[in-house]
Amino acid sequence: MKKKIHPKYESSTVSCACGYNFVTRSTKNTIKLEICSNCHPFFTGKQKFLDVDGMVEKFKKRLVKTSNKKITKKNL
């Protein structure tokens, strides 16, 4: 390896907007995050699935309509 061409790899503090902090190693001294695994809904188990304006029901209706049709070369 060539000397003096690689950045310094040192301890750095990662801080999230929720207030969670931890130490890791990076080329930067501090890293600021808006969201982390400590506050993200997917990791905390508070994730909600929303059915906006009955979109699931609309899809199911379209699926029933199209499944009754015969498949021909015109439809492909």
What's residue 64's pLDDT?
82
What domains sit in the chain, N to C, each tagged with a CATH number?
Answer: 10-67 (4.10.80.400)
**Which stretches does DSSP call E strand in the chain?**
10-16, 21-26, 30-33
Identify whether the C-beta of residue 15 lies closer than 8 Å to the C-beta of residue 21. yes
Give the pLDDT of the chain (76 residues) as one tens digit per residue. Answer: 788 898 889 999 999 988 899 999 999 999 998 888 888 777 677 766 666 677 778 888 888 887 776 655 555 5
In order of 12, 21, 23, the CA distances from 6 in angstroms are 17, 27, 21
Q: What is the pTM of this model?
A: 0.50
Is residue 15 within 8 A of residue 33, CB to CB? The reply is: yes
